[in-house]
Structure 1
Amino acid sequence: MSTTTTTLDLGAMLPQPSIALPDLMAAASLQARTDRKYLLPLADAIDLLTLDLRSAEPDARVLEIGGLRTFGYSSRYLDTPDLEAYRLAAHGRGNRYKVRTRTYLDSGEEWLEVKTRDPRGTTIKDRLALGQADRRETRTFAPRTVQERTGHRVEALQTALDVTYRRTTLFLPGSGSRVTVDTDLAWRDPDGVRRRLPDHAIVETKTTGRACAVDHLLWRSGIRPRRLSKYTCGLALLRREDLPTNRWHRTITALDTLSTWS
Protein backbone atom coordinates (compact mmCIF):
# COMPACT_ATOMS: atom_id res chain seq x y z
CA MET A 1 0.00 0.00 0.00
CA SER A 2 1.18 3.50 -0.74
CA THR A 3 1.68 6.05 1.98
CA THR A 4 0.67 9.67 2.22
CA THR A 5 3.21 12.41 1.74
CA THR A 6 4.10 14.16 4.95
CA THR A 7 2.79 17.73 4.63
CA LEU A 8 2.15 18.64 8.26
CA ASP A 9 3.61 17.62 11.59
CA LEU A 10 0.66 18.72 13.69
CA GLY A 11 1.93 17.08 16.86
CA ALA A 12 5.13 19.13 16.81
CA MET A 13 3.02 22.30 16.81
CA LEU A 14 1.08 21.45 19.95
CA PRO A 15 2.17 23.03 23.24
CA GLN A 16 0.69 20.35 25.50
CA PRO A 17 3.03 18.02 27.45
CA SER A 18 3.43 14.46 26.19
CA ILE A 19 2.04 11.14 27.36
CA ALA A 20 3.57 7.73 26.61
CA LEU A 21 1.52 5.01 24.92
CA PRO A 22 1.39 2.63 27.94
CA ASP A 23 0.13 5.47 30.13
CA LEU A 24 -2.47 6.47 27.55
CA MET A 25 -3.77 2.92 27.21
CA ALA A 26 -3.90 2.49 30.99
CA ALA A 27 -5.86 5.71 31.39
CA ALA A 28 -8.13 5.55 28.33
CA SER A 29 -8.05 2.30 26.36
CA LEU A 30 -11.75 2.87 25.47
CA GLN A 31 -12.25 -0.33 23.54
CA ALA A 32 -15.98 0.19 24.22
CA ARG A 33 -16.81 3.82 23.62
CA THR A 34 -18.87 6.54 21.98
CA ASP A 35 -17.28 8.22 18.95
CA ARG A 36 -18.10 11.66 17.55
CA LYS A 37 -16.52 12.85 14.31
CA TYR A 38 -16.12 16.33 12.92
CA LEU A 39 -14.87 17.72 9.60
CA LEU A 40 -13.21 21.12 9.76
CA PRO A 41 -10.61 23.20 7.95
CA LEU A 42 -7.07 22.36 8.94
CA ALA A 43 -6.41 25.91 10.15
CA ASP A 44 -9.42 25.71 12.49
CA ALA A 45 -8.23 22.37 13.86
CA ILE A 46 -4.83 23.89 14.61
CA ASP A 47 -6.43 26.83 16.43
CA LEU A 48 -8.65 24.45 18.39
CA LEU A 49 -5.70 22.44 19.70
CA THR A 50 -3.07 25.13 20.12
CA LEU A 51 -5.27 27.90 21.55
CA ASP A 52 -8.80 26.96 22.64
CA LEU A 53 -8.00 23.64 24.31
CA ARG A 54 -5.27 25.12 26.49
CA SER A 55 -7.83 27.00 28.60
CA ALA A 56 -10.63 24.43 28.35
CA GLU A 57 -8.45 21.45 29.42
CA PRO A 58 -5.05 22.68 30.65
CA ASP A 59 -3.96 19.15 31.65
CA ALA A 60 -4.34 17.71 28.14
CA ARG A 61 -1.47 15.56 26.92
CA VAL A 62 -0.22 14.60 23.43
CA LEU A 63 0.75 11.02 22.63
CA GLU A 64 4.48 10.79 21.95
CA ILE A 65 6.40 7.69 20.85
CA GLY A 66 10.11 7.74 20.09
CA GLY A 67 10.13 11.52 19.90
CA LEU A 68 7.27 11.60 17.37
CA ARG A 69 3.85 13.15 17.95
CA THR A 70 2.31 12.61 14.52
CA PHE A 71 2.18 9.13 13.01
CA GLY A 72 1.45 7.62 9.61
CA TYR A 73 -1.42 5.14 9.42
CA SER A 74 -2.46 2.79 6.64
CA SER A 75 -5.79 0.95 6.82
CA ARG A 76 -7.03 -1.70 4.43
CA TYR A 77 -10.77 -2.26 4.76
CA LEU A 78 -12.09 -5.74 4.03
CA ASP A 79 -15.65 -6.52 3.05
CA THR A 80 -17.67 -9.31 1.49
CA PRO A 81 -17.98 -9.47 -2.32
CA ASP A 82 -21.44 -7.84 -2.06
CA LEU A 83 -20.14 -5.22 0.44
CA GLU A 84 -22.29 -6.40 3.34
CA ALA A 85 -20.46 -4.26 5.92
CA TYR A 86 -20.95 -1.15 3.80
CA ARG A 87 -24.62 -1.89 3.16
CA LEU A 88 -25.37 -2.59 6.83
CA ALA A 89 -24.01 0.86 7.64
CA ALA A 90 -25.77 2.48 4.67
CA HIS A 91 -29.12 1.23 5.92
CA GLY A 92 -28.44 2.09 9.56
CA ARG A 93 -28.55 -1.46 10.89
CA GLY A 94 -27.96 -1.68 14.64
CA ASN A 95 -25.64 -4.69 14.67
CA ARG A 96 -23.03 -3.81 12.08
CA TYR A 97 -19.31 -4.29 11.64
CA LYS A 98 -16.15 -3.17 9.88
CA VAL A 99 -13.03 -5.25 9.35
CA ARG A 100 -9.63 -3.76 8.56
CA THR A 101 -5.94 -4.26 8.83
CA ARG A 102 -4.13 -1.29 10.30
CA THR A 103 -0.43 -0.63 9.82
CA TYR A 104 1.46 1.91 11.89
CA LEU A 105 3.83 3.17 9.22
CA ASP A 106 6.48 4.55 11.59
CA SER A 107 6.96 1.24 13.42
CA GLY A 108 5.66 -1.35 10.94
CA GLU A 109 3.33 -2.78 13.60
CA GLU A 110 0.23 -4.34 12.04
CA TRP A 111 -3.14 -5.31 13.52
CA LEU A 112 -6.29 -6.99 12.30
CA GLU A 113 -9.24 -5.12 13.78
CA VAL A 114 -12.98 -5.72 13.97
CA LYS A 115 -15.15 -2.77 14.95
CA THR A 116 -18.76 -3.48 15.81
CA ARG A 117 -21.62 -1.23 16.80
CA ASP A 118 -24.58 -2.33 18.88
CA PRO A 119 -28.15 -0.97 18.63
CA ARG A 120 -27.40 1.57 21.40
CA GLY A 121 -24.60 3.11 19.33
CA THR A 122 -21.70 1.79 21.41
CA THR A 123 -18.57 0.94 19.40
CA ILE A 124 -16.48 -2.07 20.40
CA LYS A 125 -13.08 -2.80 18.86
CA ASP A 126 -11.38 -6.20 18.96
CA ARG A 127 -7.77 -6.48 17.77
CA LEU A 128 -5.31 -9.18 16.78
CA ALA A 129 -1.58 -8.44 16.50
CA LEU A 130 -0.69 -9.95 13.13
CA GLY A 131 2.99 -10.22 13.95
CA GLN A 132 2.20 -12.58 16.82
CA ALA A 133 -0.67 -14.58 15.29
CA ASP A 134 -0.44 -17.87 13.44
CA ARG A 135 -2.09 -18.45 10.06
CA ARG A 136 -5.18 -20.15 11.46
CA GLU A 137 -5.82 -17.41 13.99
CA THR A 138 -5.41 -14.74 11.32
CA ARG A 139 -7.90 -16.54 9.08
CA THR A 140 -10.58 -17.15 11.73
CA PHE A 141 -10.33 -14.05 13.94
CA ALA A 142 -12.51 -11.69 11.91
CA PRO A 143 -15.35 -14.12 11.00
CA ARG A 144 -15.51 -15.42 14.57
CA THR A 145 -15.51 -11.96 16.13
CA VAL A 146 -18.13 -10.60 13.72
CA GLN A 147 -20.45 -13.50 14.44
CA GLU A 148 -19.97 -13.33 18.21
CA ARG A 149 -20.55 -9.56 18.31
CA THR A 150 -23.29 -9.13 15.70
CA GLY A 151 -24.67 -12.53 14.69
CA HIS A 152 -23.63 -12.04 11.05
CA ARG A 153 -21.82 -14.93 9.37
CA VAL A 154 -18.91 -13.75 7.23
CA GLU A 155 -17.40 -16.42 5.01
CA ALA A 156 -15.32 -14.40 2.54
CA LEU A 157 -13.57 -11.06 2.83
CA GLN A 158 -11.66 -9.11 0.21
CA THR A 159 -10.02 -5.71 -0.12
CA ALA A 160 -12.59 -2.95 -0.60
CA LEU A 161 -10.65 0.25 0.14
CA ASP A 162 -7.22 1.46 1.24
CA VAL A 163 -6.96 4.59 3.39
CA THR A 164 -3.84 6.45 4.49
CA TYR A 165 -3.53 9.45 6.78
CA ARG A 166 -1.46 11.05 9.52
CA ARG A 167 -2.76 11.07 13.09
CA THR A 168 -2.13 13.09 16.23
CA THR A 169 -3.70 11.83 19.48
CA LEU A 170 -4.48 13.73 22.68
CA PHE A 171 -5.55 12.52 26.11
CA LEU A 172 -8.03 14.62 28.10
CA PRO A 173 -7.76 13.57 31.76
CA GLY A 174 -10.78 15.64 32.83
CA SER A 175 -13.11 13.21 31.05
CA GLY A 176 -10.79 10.25 30.49
CA SER A 177 -11.23 10.79 26.75
CA ARG A 178 -9.05 10.55 23.67
CA VAL A 179 -9.10 12.92 20.72
CA THR A 180 -7.59 12.05 17.36
CA VAL A 181 -6.88 14.49 14.54
CA ASP A 182 -6.36 12.97 11.10
CA THR A 183 -4.74 14.93 8.27
CA ASP A 184 -3.41 14.20 4.77
CA LEU A 185 -6.25 11.72 4.24
CA ALA A 186 -6.24 9.70 1.01
CA TRP A 187 -8.52 6.93 -0.31
CA ARG A 188 -7.70 4.33 -2.97
CA ASP A 189 -9.98 1.61 -4.32
CA PRO A 190 -8.76 -1.76 -5.67
CA ASP A 191 -8.73 -0.31 -9.22
CA GLY A 192 -6.28 2.40 -8.15
CA VAL A 193 -8.73 5.31 -8.18
CA ARG A 194 -7.64 7.86 -5.57
CA ARG A 195 -8.94 10.96 -3.83
CA ARG A 196 -7.18 13.16 -1.25
CA LEU A 197 -8.41 15.58 1.41
CA PRO A 198 -5.46 17.99 1.63
CA ASP A 199 -6.74 21.03 3.54
CA HIS A 200 -9.18 19.61 6.08
CA ALA A 201 -8.91 17.49 9.20
CA ILE A 202 -11.15 14.87 10.73
CA VAL A 203 -11.36 15.35 14.49
CA GLU A 204 -12.76 12.43 16.46
CA THR A 205 -13.58 12.31 20.15
CA LYS A 206 -13.62 8.92 21.85
CA THR A 207 -15.41 9.02 25.18
CA THR A 208 -17.18 6.83 27.68
CA GLY A 209 -20.40 8.50 26.58
CA ARG A 210 -20.56 12.06 27.87
CA ALA A 211 -19.11 14.84 25.78
CA CYS A 212 -15.54 15.96 26.40
CA ALA A 213 -13.95 19.43 26.31
CA VAL A 214 -13.26 19.25 22.56
CA ASP A 215 -16.90 18.37 21.85
CA HIS A 216 -18.05 21.40 23.81
CA LEU A 217 -15.54 23.70 22.11
CA LEU A 218 -16.68 22.58 18.68
CA TRP A 219 -20.36 22.83 19.57
CA ARG A 220 -19.90 26.39 20.81
CA SER A 221 -18.34 27.21 17.42
CA GLY A 222 -21.38 25.79 15.63
CA ILE A 223 -19.61 22.62 14.46
CA ARG A 224 -21.67 19.47 14.96
CA PRO A 225 -20.80 15.78 14.69
CA ARG A 226 -21.16 14.15 11.29
CA ARG A 227 -21.84 10.68 10.06
CA LEU A 228 -18.30 10.26 8.82
CA SER A 229 -16.65 6.89 8.39
CA LYS A 230 -13.36 6.76 6.51
CA TYR A 231 -14.50 3.49 4.98
CA THR A 232 -18.13 4.07 4.07
CA CYS A 233 -17.79 7.73 3.11
CA GLY A 234 -14.57 7.08 1.22
CA LEU A 235 -16.05 4.17 -0.73
CA ALA A 236 -19.21 6.15 -1.42
CA LEU A 237 -17.13 9.09 -2.62
CA LEU A 238 -15.37 6.87 -5.16
CA ARG A 239 -18.45 4.85 -6.16
CA ARG A 240 -21.43 7.16 -5.78
CA GLU A 241 -23.02 5.90 -8.97
CA ASP A 242 -23.54 2.31 -7.80
CA LEU A 243 -23.85 2.40 -4.00
CA PRO A 244 -26.57 3.63 -1.62
CA THR A 245 -25.31 6.91 -0.15
CA ASN A 246 -28.36 8.71 1.27
CA ARG A 247 -27.29 8.16 4.87
CA TRP A 248 -24.11 10.20 4.27
CA HIS A 249 -25.41 12.64 1.65
CA ARG A 250 -24.39 15.77 3.58
CA THR A 251 -20.90 14.50 4.36
CA ILE A 252 -20.23 13.09 0.89
CA THR A 253 -21.39 16.33 -0.73
CA ALA A 254 -18.87 18.21 1.42
CA LEU A 255 -16.07 15.71 0.72
CA ASP A 256 -16.79 15.84 -2.99
CA THR A 257 -16.20 19.60 -2.91
CA LEU A 258 -13.20 19.54 -0.58
CA SER A 259 -11.26 16.54 -1.90
CA THR A 260 -9.15 16.23 -5.04
CA TRP A 261 -8.56 13.41 -7.52
CA SER A 262 -5.03 12.06 -7.55
Structure 2
Amino acid sequence: MAGMAGMAGMTGMTGSAGSVGFPQSAGEGGTTEPYAEALLAGVAASMPPIGLEDVPELMSRMDHKYIVTTATMARLAAELGERFLALAIEGRRQFRYTSTYFDTPCLLTYHQHRQDRRRRFKLRTRTYLDGGGRWLELKLSGGRGSTDKHRIPYDSVPGDTLTDEALDFVRDTLLGELHLIAPETLEPVLATDYKRVTLIDRSGTARLTCDTGLMFRDGQGSAPARGDLVLLESKSVDGKALVDKVLRGLGVRPVSVSKYCLAVAALLEQPANRWQPVLRRYLVHRPSPRHLAATRAPGAEPGGLLTAAAERRDRLA
Protein backbone atom coordinates (compact mmCIF):
# COMPACT_ATOMS: atom_id res chain seq x y z
CA MET A 1 0.00 0.00 0.00
CA ALA A 2 2.92 2.35 -0.60
CA GLY A 3 0.83 4.19 -3.16
CA MET A 4 -1.73 5.01 -0.49
CA ALA A 5 0.94 6.44 1.78
CA GLY A 6 1.83 8.80 -1.05
CA MET A 7 -1.79 9.81 -1.44
CA ALA A 8 -2.03 10.58 2.26
CA GLY A 9 0.84 13.02 1.86
CA MET A 10 -0.72 14.66 -1.18
CA THR A 11 -4.09 15.39 0.41
CA GLY A 12 -3.01 17.65 3.25
CA MET A 13 -4.54 20.69 1.54
CA THR A 14 -8.05 19.28 1.92
CA GLY A 15 -8.26 18.95 5.69
CA SER A 16 -6.80 17.26 8.73
CA ALA A 17 -7.29 13.59 9.44
CA GLY A 18 -7.80 14.56 13.04
CA SER A 19 -11.06 16.36 12.32
CA VAL A 20 -13.51 15.20 14.98
CA GLY A 21 -17.17 14.89 14.06
CA PHE A 22 -17.38 17.10 10.97
CA PRO A 23 -14.62 18.45 8.73
CA GLN A 24 -14.19 22.19 8.57
CA SER A 25 -15.72 24.00 5.61
CA ALA A 26 -13.42 24.44 2.62
CA GLY A 27 -13.97 28.15 2.13
CA GLU A 28 -17.28 29.91 1.62
CA GLY A 29 -19.88 27.24 0.88
CA GLY A 30 -17.35 24.47 0.25
CA THR A 31 -16.37 23.17 -3.18
CA THR A 32 -17.89 21.02 -5.88
CA GLU A 33 -14.48 20.06 -7.30
CA PRO A 34 -14.31 16.22 -7.35
CA TYR A 35 -11.18 15.85 -5.19
CA ALA A 36 -12.68 12.96 -3.23
CA GLU A 37 -13.83 11.14 -6.36
CA ALA A 38 -10.31 11.23 -7.80
CA LEU A 39 -8.79 10.04 -4.52
CA LEU A 40 -11.19 7.10 -4.27
CA ALA A 41 -10.40 6.04 -7.82
CA GLY A 42 -6.79 5.70 -6.67
CA VAL A 43 -7.77 3.90 -3.47
CA ALA A 44 -9.82 1.33 -5.39
CA ALA A 45 -7.11 0.84 -8.01
CA SER A 46 -4.53 0.13 -5.29
CA MET A 47 -6.50 -2.78 -3.80
CA PRO A 48 -6.93 -6.31 -5.18
CA PRO A 49 -10.28 -6.78 -6.98
CA ILE A 50 -13.23 -8.94 -6.00
CA GLY A 51 -16.13 -9.85 -8.28
CA LEU A 52 -19.76 -9.15 -7.42
CA GLU A 53 -20.55 -12.87 -7.25
CA ASP A 54 -18.03 -13.25 -4.40
CA VAL A 55 -19.33 -10.39 -2.23
CA PRO A 56 -21.40 -11.43 0.84
CA GLU A 57 -24.78 -9.68 0.84
CA LEU A 58 -24.98 -8.64 4.54
CA MET A 59 -28.73 -8.05 4.30
CA SER A 60 -28.92 -7.96 8.13
CA ARG A 61 -26.19 -5.83 9.66
CA MET A 62 -25.07 -2.97 11.88
CA ASP A 63 -24.24 0.31 10.11
CA HIS A 64 -22.06 3.27 11.09
CA LYS A 65 -21.77 6.38 8.91
CA TYR A 66 -18.96 8.93 8.77
CA ILE A 67 -18.20 12.10 6.81
CA VAL A 68 -14.46 12.49 6.27
CA THR A 69 -11.98 14.64 4.40
CA THR A 70 -9.84 13.28 1.59
CA ALA A 71 -6.84 13.34 3.94
CA THR A 72 -8.66 11.11 6.42
CA MET A 73 -9.80 8.80 3.62
CA ALA A 74 -6.22 8.38 2.42
CA ARG A 75 -4.99 7.57 5.93
CA LEU A 76 -7.83 5.12 6.46
CA ALA A 77 -7.01 3.30 3.22
CA ALA A 78 -3.35 3.07 4.22
CA GLU A 79 -4.30 1.63 7.63
CA LEU A 80 -6.53 -1.03 6.06
CA GLY A 81 -3.52 -2.46 4.23
CA GLU A 82 -4.13 -5.74 2.42
CA ARG A 83 -7.16 -6.62 4.57
CA PHE A 84 -9.66 -5.19 2.06
CA LEU A 85 -10.58 -5.85 -1.57
CA ALA A 86 -12.22 -3.47 -4.05
CA LEU A 87 -15.43 -4.46 -5.83
CA ALA A 88 -14.73 -4.66 -9.57
CA ILE A 89 -17.21 -5.30 -12.38
CA GLU A 90 -15.97 -5.51 -15.97
CA GLY A 91 -12.84 -3.59 -15.02
CA ARG A 92 -14.73 -0.74 -13.33
CA ARG A 93 -14.27 0.00 -9.61
CA GLN A 94 -16.26 3.22 -9.21
CA PHE A 95 -19.98 3.06 -9.97
CA ARG A 96 -22.83 5.53 -10.51
CA TYR A 97 -26.02 5.08 -8.50
CA THR A 98 -29.45 6.72 -8.63
CA SER A 99 -32.03 6.16 -5.89
CA THR A 100 -35.64 7.38 -5.83
CA TYR A 101 -37.29 7.50 -2.40
CA PHE A 102 -40.99 7.05 -1.66
CA ASP A 103 -42.95 8.46 1.26
CA THR A 104 -46.48 9.44 2.23
CA PRO A 105 -47.91 12.89 1.33
CA CYS A 106 -47.13 14.04 4.90
CA LEU A 107 -43.61 12.52 4.82
CA LEU A 108 -44.33 9.85 7.43
CA THR A 109 -41.08 7.91 7.02
CA TYR A 110 -39.01 11.11 7.22
CA HIS A 111 -40.61 12.11 10.51
CA GLN A 112 -40.26 8.58 11.89
CA HIS A 113 -36.51 8.85 11.30
CA ARG A 114 -36.33 12.40 12.66
CA GLN A 115 -38.08 11.27 15.85
CA ASP A 116 -35.89 8.15 16.03
CA ARG A 117 -38.85 5.79 16.15
CA ARG A 118 -37.86 2.28 17.14
CA ARG A 119 -39.69 0.61 14.24
CA ARG A 120 -39.36 2.46 10.96
CA PHE A 121 -38.65 1.93 7.28
CA LYS A 122 -37.40 3.52 4.07
CA LEU A 123 -38.57 2.61 0.58
CA ARG A 124 -36.60 3.31 -2.57
CA THR A 125 -35.70 2.13 -6.01
CA ARG A 126 -31.98 1.89 -6.64
CA THR A 127 -30.61 1.94 -10.17
CA TYR A 128 -27.06 0.80 -10.89
CA LEU A 129 -26.23 2.96 -13.90
CA ASP A 130 -23.03 1.07 -14.75
CA GLY A 131 -24.62 -2.37 -14.75
CA GLY A 132 -26.56 -4.28 -12.13
CA GLY A 133 -30.07 -3.22 -13.09
CA ARG A 134 -32.69 -1.74 -10.78
CA TRP A 135 -34.08 -2.99 -7.47
CA LEU A 136 -36.94 -2.00 -5.20
CA GLU A 137 -35.51 -1.95 -1.68
CA LEU A 138 -37.25 -1.78 1.69
CA LYS A 139 -34.90 -1.00 4.59
CA LEU A 140 -36.21 -1.84 8.05
CA SER A 141 -34.92 -0.60 11.40
CA GLY A 142 -35.88 -2.54 14.52
CA GLY A 143 -35.27 -2.22 18.23
CA ARG A 144 -31.76 -3.74 18.25
CA GLY A 145 -30.09 -1.00 16.22
CA SER A 146 -29.75 -3.33 13.25
CA THR A 147 -30.79 -2.76 9.64
CA ASP A 148 -32.52 -5.39 7.52
CA LYS A 149 -32.81 -4.89 3.78
CA HIS A 150 -35.41 -6.64 1.63
CA ARG A 151 -35.51 -6.19 -2.13
CA ILE A 152 -37.01 -7.43 -5.38
CA PRO A 153 -35.80 -7.00 -8.99
CA TYR A 154 -37.32 -3.94 -10.67
CA ASP A 155 -35.61 -3.72 -14.06
CA SER A 156 -38.76 -3.42 -16.17
CA VAL A 157 -40.39 -0.64 -14.11
CA PRO A 158 -39.61 3.12 -14.11
CA GLY A 159 -37.70 4.12 -11.00
CA ASP A 160 -40.37 6.57 -9.79
CA THR A 161 -43.28 4.12 -10.04
CA LEU A 162 -44.74 1.57 -7.62
CA THR A 163 -46.57 -1.36 -9.21
CA ASP A 164 -49.28 -3.46 -7.55
CA GLU A 165 -46.68 -6.18 -7.05
CA ALA A 166 -44.38 -3.66 -5.37
CA LEU A 167 -47.12 -2.48 -3.02
CA ASP A 168 -47.92 -6.10 -2.10
CA PHE A 169 -44.23 -6.63 -1.34
CA VAL A 170 -44.19 -3.55 0.92
CA ARG A 171 -47.39 -4.52 2.75
CA ASP A 172 -46.34 -8.13 3.30
CA THR A 173 -42.82 -7.24 4.46
CA LEU A 174 -43.86 -4.49 6.87
CA LEU A 175 -46.55 -6.65 8.40
CA GLY A 176 -44.40 -9.77 8.64
CA GLU A 177 -41.17 -8.15 9.85
CA LEU A 178 -42.22 -5.09 11.89
CA HIS A 179 -45.94 -5.80 12.47
CA LEU A 180 -46.72 -2.47 10.80
CA ILE A 181 -49.63 -1.64 8.50
CA ALA A 182 -48.31 -0.09 5.29
CA PRO A 183 -49.45 3.47 4.50
CA GLU A 184 -52.30 3.74 2.01
CA THR A 185 -50.41 6.19 -0.20
CA LEU A 186 -46.74 6.11 -1.14
CA GLU A 187 -45.38 8.49 -3.77
CA PRO A 188 -41.97 9.48 -5.14
CA VAL A 189 -40.46 12.31 -3.10
CA LEU A 190 -36.91 12.88 -4.32
CA ALA A 191 -33.86 11.23 -5.81
CA THR A 192 -30.16 11.03 -5.01
CA ASP A 193 -27.26 10.58 -7.42
CA TYR A 194 -23.71 9.67 -6.42
CA LYS A 195 -20.64 7.59 -7.19
CA ARG A 196 -19.60 4.69 -4.99
CA VAL A 197 -16.50 2.62 -4.30
CA THR A 198 -17.13 -0.54 -2.26
CA LEU A 199 -14.35 -2.12 -0.19
CA ILE A 200 -14.82 -5.67 1.11
CA ASP A 201 -13.17 -7.14 4.21
CA ARG A 202 -11.51 -10.43 3.27
CA SER A 203 -13.23 -12.06 6.26
CA GLY A 204 -16.59 -11.58 4.55
CA THR A 205 -18.11 -10.06 7.70
CA ALA A 206 -17.77 -6.36 6.83
CA ARG A 207 -17.69 -3.88 3.98
CA LEU A 208 -17.15 -0.17 3.52
CA THR A 209 -19.02 1.94 0.97
CA CYS A 210 -17.45 5.26 -0.01
CA ASP A 211 -19.77 7.79 -1.69
CA THR A 212 -18.79 10.99 -3.50
CA GLY A 213 -20.45 13.50 -5.81
CA LEU A 214 -23.77 13.27 -3.97
CA MET A 215 -26.62 15.30 -5.48
CA PHE A 216 -30.11 15.67 -3.99
CA ARG A 217 -32.96 16.52 -6.39
CA ASP A 218 -36.73 16.52 -6.32
CA GLY A 219 -37.73 17.57 -9.83
CA GLN A 220 -37.92 21.27 -8.93
CA GLY A 221 -34.47 21.84 -7.52
CA SER A 222 -31.20 20.26 -6.48
CA ALA A 223 -28.54 20.53 -3.78
CA PRO A 224 -24.97 19.21 -4.25
CA ALA A 225 -22.70 17.89 -1.52
CA ARG A 226 -19.13 19.10 -1.22
CA GLY A 227 -16.70 17.47 -3.62
CA ASP A 228 -13.86 17.28 -1.09
CA LEU A 229 -15.69 15.04 1.41
CA VAL A 230 -16.51 11.33 1.46
CA LEU A 231 -19.61 9.77 2.99
CA LEU A 232 -18.56 6.42 4.45
CA GLU A 233 -20.82 3.63 5.62
CA SER A 234 -19.25 0.81 7.60
CA LYS A 235 -21.45 -2.30 7.45
CA SER A 236 -20.75 -5.37 9.55
CA VAL A 237 -22.50 -8.24 11.26
CA ASP A 238 -21.74 -6.95 14.77
CA GLY A 239 -21.00 -3.23 14.37
CA LYS A 240 -17.35 -3.73 15.36
CA ALA A 241 -15.57 -3.60 12.02
CA LEU A 242 -11.89 -2.81 11.60
CA VAL A 243 -12.90 0.39 9.79
CA ASP A 244 -14.72 1.65 12.89
CA LYS A 245 -11.68 0.96 15.06
CA VAL A 246 -9.30 2.75 12.67
CA LEU A 247 -11.56 5.79 12.36
CA ARG A 248 -11.85 6.06 16.14
CA GLY A 249 -8.06 6.07 16.27
CA LEU A 250 -8.05 8.93 13.75
CA GLY A 251 -10.42 10.93 15.95
CA VAL A 252 -13.47 10.54 13.72
CA ARG A 253 -16.85 9.81 15.28
CA PRO A 254 -19.86 8.30 13.51
CA VAL A 255 -22.74 10.56 12.55
CA SER A 256 -26.43 9.72 12.49
CA VAL A 257 -27.39 10.62 8.94
CA SER A 258 -29.54 9.36 6.10
CA LYS A 259 -29.27 10.50 2.50
CA TYR A 260 -33.04 10.65 2.28
CA CYS A 261 -33.47 12.66 5.47
CA LEU A 262 -30.70 15.10 4.54
CA ALA A 263 -32.30 15.58 1.13
CA VAL A 264 -35.76 16.25 2.59
CA ALA A 265 -34.31 18.73 5.07
CA ALA A 266 -32.29 20.48 2.36
CA LEU A 267 -34.95 20.65 -0.35
CA LEU A 268 -38.25 20.80 1.53
CA GLU A 269 -37.33 22.86 4.63
CA GLN A 270 -38.67 20.29 7.06
CA PRO A 271 -37.73 20.31 10.79
CA ALA A 272 -34.22 18.87 11.01
CA ASN A 273 -32.49 20.13 14.16
CA ARG A 274 -30.56 16.88 14.68
CA TRP A 275 -29.04 17.10 11.19
CA GLN A 276 -28.20 20.81 11.06
CA PRO A 277 -24.45 20.29 11.74
CA VAL A 278 -24.26 17.80 8.88
CA LEU A 279 -26.22 20.04 6.51
CA ARG A 280 -23.96 23.00 7.26
CA ARG A 281 -20.74 21.06 6.70
CA TYR A 282 -21.68 18.60 3.97
CA LEU A 283 -23.67 20.64 1.45
CA VAL A 284 -22.11 23.25 -0.81
CA HIS A 285 -25.19 25.37 -0.18
CA ARG A 286 -28.65 24.80 1.24
CA PRO A 287 -31.26 26.13 -1.20
CA SER A 288 -34.58 27.64 -0.23
CA PRO A 289 -37.54 25.99 -1.98
CA ARG A 290 -38.99 29.45 -2.58
CA HIS A 291 -36.05 30.20 -4.90
CA LEU A 292 -35.39 26.79 -6.45
CA ALA A 293 -35.44 26.82 -10.22
CA ALA A 294 -37.06 23.95 -12.09
CA THR A 295 -33.91 21.98 -12.89
CA ARG A 296 -33.27 18.45 -14.03
CA ALA A 297 -30.08 16.65 -13.05
CA PRO A 298 -28.45 14.35 -15.64
CA GLY A 299 -30.20 11.00 -15.62
CA ALA A 300 -33.33 12.34 -13.91
CA GLU A 301 -36.56 10.64 -14.87
CA PRO A 302 -39.58 12.66 -16.01
CA GLY A 303 -43.13 12.15 -14.88
CA GLY A 304 -43.96 11.01 -11.37
CA LEU A 305 -41.08 12.65 -9.51
CA LEU A 306 -41.70 16.06 -11.08
CA THR A 307 -45.46 15.91 -10.57
CA ALA A 308 -45.24 14.66 -6.99
CA ALA A 309 -42.67 17.34 -6.09
CA ALA A 310 -44.89 20.15 -7.36
CA GLU A 311 -47.96 18.81 -5.56
CA ARG A 312 -46.02 18.31 -2.34
CA ARG A 313 -44.68 21.86 -2.34
CA ASP A 314 -48.25 23.12 -2.65
CA ARG A 315 -49.34 21.01 0.33
CA LEU A 316 -46.39 22.00 2.51
CA ALA A 317 -46.50 25.69 1.63
Query: How high is the TM-score relative to the length of structure 1?
Result: 0.86
Question: Residue in 2 aligned with 1:22?
Answer: 53
Tell me which protein shows more strand as a share of its residues. Answer: 1
Question: What are the Cα deviations for residues 50-108 of structure 1, in whole angstroms up to 9, with x where unaligned?
Answer: x2211xxx231110001000100000011010100001001110000000000001126
Please report how far the alpha carbon of residue 260 of structure 1 lies from its aligned counterpart in structure 2 after TM superposition.
6.8
Greater Rg by CA: 2
Please report how far the alpha carbon of residue 220 of structure 1 lies from its aligned counterpart in structure 2 after TM superposition.
0.6
- In structure 1, what is the Cα distance between the partners aligned to 2:163 and 2:107? 24
Query: How high is the TM-score relative to the length of structure 2?
Result: 0.72
Residues 1:141 and 2:169 are matched in the alignment: yes
- In structure 2, what is the Cα distance between the partners aligned to 1:5 and 1:155? 42
Question: 1:147 touches 1:154 (CA, 8 Å); kept in 2?
Answer: no
Question: 2:61 touches 2:147 (CA, 8 Å); kept in 1?
Answer: yes
- In structure 2, what is the Cα distance between the partners aligned to 1:6 and 1:158? 32
Residues 1:42 and 2:70 are matched in the alignment: yes
Report the more deviating stretch, 222-231 or 191-200. 191-200
Question: What are the Cα deviations for residues 167-195 of structure 1, in whole angstroms up to 9, with x where unaligned?
Answer: 00011124710100001111012322333
Report the more deviating stretch, 154-163 or 32-41. 154-163
- 2:188 pairs with 136, 147, 159, which one? 159
- In structure 2, what is the Cα distance between the partners aligned to 1:146 and 1:6? 39
| Matched position secondary structure for 2:145 | coil
Question: 1:179 touches 1:205 (CA, 8 Å); kept in 2?
Answer: yes
- In structure 2, what is the Cα distance between the partners aligned to 1:141 and 1:67? 34
Report the more deviating stretch, 31-40 or 229-238. 229-238
Aligned-residue CA RMSD (Å)? 2.5
| Matched position secondary structure for 2:225 | strand
Please report how far the alpha carbon of residue 228 of structure 1 lies from its aligned counterpart in structure 2 after TM superposition.
1.1
Question: Residue in 1 aligned with 2:282?
Answer: 255
Runs of 4+ more than 6 Å apart: 4-7
In structure 1, stretches of 5+ residues that fail to align are: none
In structure 2, stretches of 5+ residues that fail to align are: 1-31, 288-294, 296-317
- In structure 2, what is the Cα distance between the partners aligned to 1:172 and 1:59? 6
Question: Residue in 1 aligned with 2:115?
Answer: 91
Aligned residue type for 2:83: D
